[in-house]
């Protein structure tokens, strides 16, 4: 680990962790029961984990070989699914009709609808990941589909979080949302997802 | 302070009404303005508990929910109407029984109920109100506070006879 390695890791962990720390100190928590708090934090943690996904996919986190990074990327994907289900489950127990409204796209709050779109895009990504072997002859299409879903997940997650008046701090939430978008664009650029030709960096057919 | 909600449907309906009366009876000056009934808001009935009791105030108080109740059509104030109120407050979740209470409108159709401070929940600082008696059509409202620091919130009902 060089000093540059440490500073990259430090910056990413800082941007991901600060919103969690600030939310943990939110005055709103004193008026919420444990299930509601846990449901909220599952969502915040999912958003923080999401920051690592494009960086792992593109091999941008120093000290990890691309093979290791991709393996962590898959496990983190599974953790994202679990976190999002815990998020929805916790909110469901707290207020079932609000969650039903969101899932049926009839919520009065637009951010709930963005969150549900992000959930479906995440589920679609998980199915796509599990079906990767079927795309062996056409990995380009698999990659394009995964990239498109990643764009949907990141943009709707950012919209979902930013529009909510909740436990997360406004500044740290905006910073994490911005970092998510930057990380995604960096990864898409590194992986040359829009190119037909095989790029040099970061692409293997594993 | 009441907003008149004009959308395409009400505009077409009211223009149609004006045309019909204009053609049939000549355009006489309207004696009473036609006040459209309030539509229920999305999510307004969430965590509704039928039959919440009329209370002096909900919990410890410190926050005021206020509003008016009028009759559709002529806009006459309706007295003695029961309005039910609930919210996520410093003293409990929306689903908790002790977060619910009801009050009656006065002779001017005005209601005022003291309740605990509303705090942001499910992404917005908001309250819920219901008119759920038999004389008029049921209406559920879900007003949102412009700031979580506000200590009052108002909501207005225009009711349609059932």
In chain B, residues with a C-beta closer than 8 Å to the C-beta of A103 are none
Q: What whole-number distance in Å separates Cα of residue A190 and Cα of residue A147?
A: 12
Task: List chain B residues with pLDDT less than 70.
Answer: 1-33
Nearest to A31 among B43, B46, B119 (CB): B119
- Check if B46 contacts A (Cβ < 8 Å): yes
In chain A, residues with a C-beta closer than 8 Å to the C-beta of B42 are 101, 106-108
Per residue in A64-90, pLDDT (tens digit) is 999 999 999 999 999 999 999 999 999
Per residue in A141-162, pLDDT (tens digit) is 999 999 999 999 999 999 999 9
Classified by CATH at the fold level, domain B63-159 comes out as Protocatechuate 3,4-Dioxygenase, subunit A (2.60.130)
Contact by Cβ (8 Å): A174, A158: no
Nearest to A98 among B41, B122, B148 (CB): B122
Domain ranges of chain B: 63-159
Closest-CA distance, B74 to chain A, in angstroms, reads: 30
Mean pLDDT of chain A: 93
Cβ count within 10 A of residue A102: 25
pLDDT of A88 reads 98
Closest-CA distance, B116 to chain A, in angstroms, reads: 12
- Check if B53 contacts A (Cβ < 8 Å): no
- Check if A36 contacts B (Cβ < 8 Å): yes
CA distances to A12, A14, A53, A158 from A7, in Å: 9, 10, 18, 25
- Check if B150 contacts A (Cβ < 8 Å): no
Per residue in A94-112, pLDDT (tens digit) is 999 999 999 999 999 999 9
Domain ranges of chain A: 3-190
Contact by Cβ (8 Å): B100, B130: no
- Reported confidence tier of residue A206, pLDDT bands at 50, 70, 90: very low
Q: Using the beta-carbon criterion (under 8 Å), do A31 and B45 form an inter-chain contact?
A: no
Per residue in B15-36, pLDDT (tens digit) is 554 444 444 444 444 445 699 9
pLDDT of A205 reads 46
Bridge partners of B161, per DSSP, are B136
Averaged pLDDT, A41-60: 97
Nearest CA in chain A to B119: A28
pLDDT of B1 reads 44
Angle ∠(B115,B121,B48) on CA atoms, nearest 5: 65
Averaged pLDDT, A102-130: 97
Q: Using the beta-carbon criterion (under 8 Å), do A101 and B43 form an inter-chain contact?
A: yes
- With tokens 């992404």, the residue in question is B123
Q: Using the beta-carbon criterion (under 8 Å), do A164 and B123 form an inter-chain contact?
A: yes
- Check if A172 contacts B (Cβ < 8 Å): no
Q: Using the beta-carbon criterion (under 8 Å), do B123 and A165 form an inter-chain contact?
A: yes
In chain A, residues with a C-beta closer than 8 Å to the C-beta of B148 are 165
């Amino acid at each position: 680990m060089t000093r540059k390695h440490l500073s990259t890791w430090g910056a990413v962990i800082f941007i991901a962790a600060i919103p969690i720390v600030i939310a943990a100190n939110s005055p709103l928590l004193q008026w919420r029961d444990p299930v509601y708090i846990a449901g909220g934090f599952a969502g915040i943690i999912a958003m923080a984990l999401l920051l690592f996904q494009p960086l792992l996919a593109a091999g941008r986190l120093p000290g990890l070989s691309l093979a290791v990074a991709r393996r962590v990327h898959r496990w983190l994907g599974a953790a994202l699914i679990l976190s999002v289900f815990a998020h929805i489950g916790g909110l469901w127990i707290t207020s079932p009709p609000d969650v039903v409204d969101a899932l049926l796209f009839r919520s009065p709050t637009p951010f709930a609808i963005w969150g549900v779109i992000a959930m479906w895009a995440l589920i679609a990504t998980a199915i796509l990941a599990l079906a990767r072997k079927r795309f062996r002859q056409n990995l380009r299409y698999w990659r394009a589909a995964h990239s498109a879903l990643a764009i949907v997940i990141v943009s709707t997650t950012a919209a979902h979080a930013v529009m909510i008046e909740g436990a997360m701090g406004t500044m740290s939430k905006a910073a994490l949302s911005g970092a998510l978008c930057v990380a995604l664009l960096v990864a898409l650029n590194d992986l040359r997802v829009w190119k037909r030709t095989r790029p040099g960096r970061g692409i293997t057919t594993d | 302070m009441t907003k008149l909600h004009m959308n395409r449907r009400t505009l077409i309906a009211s223009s149609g009404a004006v045309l019909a009366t204009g053609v049939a009876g000549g355009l006489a000056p309207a004696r009473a303005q036609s006040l459209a009934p309030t539509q229920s808001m999305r999510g307004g009935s969430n965590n509704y508990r039928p039959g919440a009791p009329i209370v002096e105030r909900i919990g410890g108080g410190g926050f005021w929910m206020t509003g008016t109740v009028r009759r559709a059509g002529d806009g006459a104030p309706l007295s003695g109407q029961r309005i039910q109120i609930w919210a996520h407050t410093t003293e409990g979740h929306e689903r908790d029984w002790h977060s619910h209470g009801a009050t009656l409108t006065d002779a001017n159709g005005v209601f005022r109920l003291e309740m605990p401070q509303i705090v942001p929940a499910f992404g917005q600082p908001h309250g819920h109100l219901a008119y759920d008696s038999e004389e008029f059509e049921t209406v559920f409202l879900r007003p949102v506070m412009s700031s979580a620091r506000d200590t009052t919130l108002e909501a207005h009902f225009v009711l349609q006879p059932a």
